Amino acid sequence: MTEELKQQIRLFWDRYPCAADRSNQERYSKTYFEELAQKRYLIEPEIISFAQFDHYRGRDVLEVGVGPGHDFRQWVAAGANAYGIDFSSEAIHHTTAYLQHFGLNAKEIKIGDAENLPYPADRFDLVYSWGVLHHTPDTQKALSEIVRVCQPGGICKVMFYHRNSLYAFYLWLKYALLKGRPWQSFGWCIGHFLESPGTQAFSVTEVRKMLNRLPVQIIKISPTLTYYDLLKNRSAPIRAFAWLLSFLLGGNRVGWFMLIEFQKKN
């Protein structure tokens, strides 16, 4: 069943590359990538401060799940020795074309499985994965793998979807309450209707438990309010309602993105 689900996930991302529908430019053109990148960092500005691309010049960096290549381009442009994998062949094609348009050369880009990383232990200074590991069936195994390939003293930075968030609540309203099935959980709605089949989202407690099974020192597990929680693509009254709701529920505590950073123990 797990392998069947993995193939469904692969087919989804081959068919629908991440956020590719945000551009009307010719696919794989330079203007296509430029428009997608501009929109990505406008909608998800958290990436820049979290990744700290400029801090890893000359360091060995692995990105697990390069997607269409936006963050991977940043690693390469910043001078990191950048290695990237993705489960989707379309993602590899996107990223390769992206780098070619900007005259950039990575150390390596190839197809790979987050649950079985094709690298030796203690290999990288940084392992980075933005919004990817919650799509693989065995997220605990994927976490174990990124820790395995990280050097002792090295850093891992990942983003997971946060189940106890406003955006998850909106999904529940849309796919459970308004469909006459209010007994369904936030997790059920996310797994059935968000992105690839079986998408997961976690609580802070669940992430902490997963990391406590590994030889790491937790630096932070920080939910963060996002564009999606605050409904920034909606009308002013709806945006005001979302802001008020977020304020009453604790601000970042109910954010959709969970920014997670930890260090592999020596």
- What pLDDT digit, counting tens, does each position of 2-16 carry? 889 999 999 999 998
pLDDT digits 0-9 by tens, 138-164 = 999 999 999 999 999 999 999 999 999
Instruction: Give how far the C-alpha of residue 139 lies from the chain's centroid of Cα atoms, to the nearest Å.
Output: 12
pLDDT at 117 over 80: yes
- Which pLDDT value is given to residue 18? 82
- Strand 216-224: give its sheet, edge to edge: 108-111, 81-86, 60-64, 124-130, 150-161, 257-264, 216-224
For the chain, the average pLDDT equals 97
List, in sequence order, the alpha helices (H) in 44-106: 46-51, 70-77, 89-101
178 CB burial (10 A radius; 0-12, 13-18, 19+): exposed
pLDDT digits 0-9 by tens, 204-215 = 999 999 999 999
Which has more pLDDT, 16 or 176? 176
Instruction: Give how far the C-alpha of residue 201 lies from the chain's centroid of Cα atoms, to the nearest Å.
Output: 11
Query: Does residue 55 contact residue 125 with C-beta atoms inside 8 Å?
Result: no
Select from 260, 57, 63, 210 the least CA-distant residue to 149.
63
Residue 174 has, within 13 A of its CA and on its CB side, a CA count of: 11
pLDDT at 172 over 80: yes
- Which pLDDT value is given to residue 193? 97
Residues of the chain with pLDDT > 90, as a percent, come to 95
The first and second tokens of residue 96, run together, are: 């390769």
Structure confidence at residue 1 as a pLDDT band (50, 70, 90): low
pLDDT at 240 over 80: yes
Top-tier CATH class for 2-162+200-225+255-264 = alpha beta
- Which pLDDT value is given to residue 21? 84
What is the rounded distance in angstroms from the CA atom of residue 168 to the CA atom of residue 186?
A: 6
What is the rounded distance in angstroms from the CA atom of residue 256 to the CA atom of residue 178?
A: 21
What is the rounded distance in angstroms from the CA atom of residue 197 to the CA atom of residue 190?
A: 9
Enter the DSSP assignment of 43. Answer: H
Strands (E) located in 20-149: 60-64, 81-86, 108-111, 124-130
What is the rounded distance in angstroms from the CA atom of residue 126 to the CA atom of residue 155?
A: 5
Give bridge partners of residue 111 from the DSSP assignment: 86
* Residues near 99 by beta carbon (within 8 Å), at least 6 away in sequence: 69, 72, 73, 76, 105, 106, 109
pLDDT at 54 over 80: yes
pLDDT at 20 over 90: no
- Which pLDDT value is given to residue 28? 93
Give the domain ranges of the chain: 2-162+200-225+255-264
What is the rounded distance in angstroms from the CA atom of residue 141 to the CA atom of residue 89?
A: 22
- Which pLDDT value is given to residue 183? 98
Query: Does residue 133 contact residue 139 with C-beta atoms inside 8 Å?
Result: yes
